[in-house]
Amino acid sequence: MIRYRLLVSGRVQGVSFRYACQQAALRSGVSGWVRNLPDGRVEAVVEGQPEAAGRLVGWAQHGPPGAVVTGVAVQPEQPEGLASFQIR
């Protein structure tokens, strides 16, 4: 298991990005959560097998249609064994 914290910047804030991220995470087979930050970035924490987590990181670098992703900061963390995906 591997865990990443992603800070996604650009024109990405909003429920549509968060929902799209949740769907991408579920398709990738990872767990975690997503929330909007007051400064306009989106924070996501994903946990799963390295290949699956890597797929979600790749997805976040492009985002869904309509999102303009200008950067994704990826920070590895210790896995905690999350059970599901949440949107905050």
Annotation says 11 is catalytic:
no
Alpha-carbon dihedral 74, 32, 26, 38, rounded to 10 degrees: -70
Catalytic residue among 18, 35, 41, 55: 18
Tokens of 86: 């949440």
Annotation says 18 is catalytic:
yes
Catalytic residue among 36, 41, 55, 88: 36
Mapped onto helix, strand or coil, the DSSP state of residue 48 is strand
- The catalytic site residues sit at 18, 36
